[in-house]
Chain A
Amino acid sequence: MKILEIQSLTKRYGSVCGVKDISFDIGQGEIFGYLGPNGSGKTTTIRIFLDFIRPSSGRARLFGLDSHVHSSKIKSRIGYVPGEYGIYEEMRGAEYLRFFGALRGCQKPPLRDRLIDIFGLDISKRIKSYSHGTRQKLAVVQAFMHDPELLILDEPTIGLDPLMQQRFYELLLEMKNRGKTVFLSSHILSEVEKVCDRVGILKEGELVAIREISEIKRLRLRSIEITFKQEVNESVFRLDGVRKVERDGNTIQLWVDSNINGILRTISEYPVENMSFRDASLEDIFMEYYSE
């Protein structure tokens, strides 16, 4: 079942294009990573989902409903953590959660107490005394506490310490196991790699790729770093399967996706002092998309 469907979505701000002709869909129980640097159109896409802004063309459907026409119905089924937000500073944490619980139509949000416990949140204090990290925890609790079917998260771990980040990832996986769907916008590649099933990569408002994380892991680039005993011209490594060559003195780094035997044969023609071989991270792959 498709929870979220985007068809040829474009948003223009005058002559500038926020997002351009984006299409994808997300199924139930999926965690979809939405990757891109700042200004690439991640937040614009989210704002269209939530009907904060209207698309110039194309449409977004959530739960099979149009994001603009049925905005209120849709929002009663989602939880949202914005990338940048303000919190009613004069309220206490408990009052804030009570307020949003009531707005979401549940006086006793089912996950509230458990989430407070998971994140160690002190809700008796006034929000103005909260640190940035504590405010982020509060934003996460208000988004998750009513057990929504779809979670839309815009850079949700910013401000959380590593332990809280880990708890947050565990929570996401638990939500997934319970059939909840998550749209996770992020520029932190390691977190996307950790929890997502699929990833969409945005570049200057365009969706340049959508891949299964497992597919990326299977097909992804490998990095070979070779230190030679003498200087070697890097042009000899511009072979089939080599995506990129970088040289730093006697050290050459190769980004390869195939033809490993051929590359090793070429390397063996020169005196090697040291050689390391590692999988490229998602970040390397991400940069690869951006260098094209």
Chain B
Amino acid sequence: MRIYLRYLKSERIGSLLFAIGLFGFGYILVVMYPSFGKLQALKNYFEMMPVFLKALLGDEIIDFTTLKGFMTVEFFNTTWLFVTGVFSCLLAGSLVAEETEKKTLEILLSTAVTRTGYIISKFAGFLTLLVFLATASFLGLYLGMWRIGEQIDEGLMFYAFFTGTICMAAMGSIGLLFSCLFNEQRRAISMTLIVFFSLYLFNLFATFLEQYPRLKYFALFHYYDASKIFKRGAICWPDIGILLAVFTIVLISSIFTFRRKDIYI
């Protein structure tokens, strides 16, 4: 618990800035929506988009001129995904590697704290901050919608953030694995960022390569797609199941790696 609380304290300022950014950006986007939504030219432009650009915006095409379509394209599948993705890479990549590099790990692990306890405490801290970011984003959108008097179903919005948070938790577990493998924080973060952008690009290619329809099932971000949730009007439990499976497997691998690791300070 002490390690968990200390971690939250040490990351509070950076997380708060990310949360304020997402809250503000979400709010502004919703408030800007009425002027965008009325533009017929925008709808025409969207329909004329090449396939690979449409792939960028989601697996299942949703009307761009509706509020949920606009928010899917401008926020859920792009801005939110990138901002929380980078946040996850930065934080998860440094979870263990930072303490190894700064040489604070040795005294810490000389106490009765187990390696598993240490890693779970810190990762729980990271997950808490991820939930904080999702909550701030939700509130930003909700406040914006209240301001313009137009609504997206709160339940669906919650599902979108819920799936997105699990997806980012899975990304975070990949970062944690690198953080356990490498002793240098920068190296662990760089590797996590490379994996994040590679997975994102892989998802894009897999979505628009119609001759290989099954390829997309190997892309992590295929399982987080707000357009799918908003279009179907329901949460996609199989997607969540797969994201949770990835999260669990990589988290267990990270714990296993850290428990076996020789720690040289």
Contact = CB atoms under 8 A, between A and B. Distances in A.
A181 to B, nearest CB: 16
Given A47-B263, A54-B262, A84-B265, A103 B104 contact: no
Given A85-B103, A86-B103, A100 B262 contact: no
A52 B100 CA distance: 12
Nearest to B103: A86
Contacts of A100: 107, 111
Given A47-B263, A85-B265, A105-B112, A52 B107 contact: no
Contacts of B99: 86
A86 B111 contact: no
A100 B264 CA distance: 21
B104 A78 contact: no
Interface in A1-41: none
- B contacts with A: majority SS: loop
A86 B112 contact: no
Given A52-B262, A53-B263, A82-B265, A139 B107 contact: yes
Nearest to A49: B110
A117 to B, nearest CB: 22
Given A47-B263, A103-B2, A52 B109 contact: yes
Interface residues of A, number: 28
Contacts, number: 67
B110 A80 contact: yes
B11 to A, nearest CB: 11
A47 B110 CA distance: 10
B102 A86 contact: yes
B106 interface: yes
A53 B112 contact: no
B10 interface: yes
B104 A85 contact: yes
A82 B114 contact: no
B114 A71 contact: yes
B110 A99 contact: no
Contacts of B201: none
Contacts of B110: 50, 75, 78, 80, 82, 152
B78 to A, nearest CB: 35
Contacts of B113: 72, 75, 103
Contacts of A142: 107
A289 interface: no
Interface in B116-156: none
B108 interface: yes
Nearest to A80: B110
A76 interface: yes
A103 B111 contact: yes
Q: Which of B99, B110, B262, B264 has the most CB of A within 10 A?
A: B110
Given A54-B262, A90-B10, A99-B6, A80 B112 contact: no
B2 A102 contact: yes
A103 B103 contact: no
A80 B262 contact: no
A78 B113 CA distance: 13
A187 B262 CA distance: 25
A78 B263 CA distance: 19
Interface in A174-224: none
Q: Which 10 A-B residue pairings sit nearest by Cβ, starting from the closest?
A: A86-B103, A80-B110, A76-B112, A53-B262, A103-B111, A52-B263, A86-B102, A86-B104, A102-B2, A82-B106
6 contacts: A53-B264, A72-B114, A76-B111, A86-B103, A100-B111, A103-B112
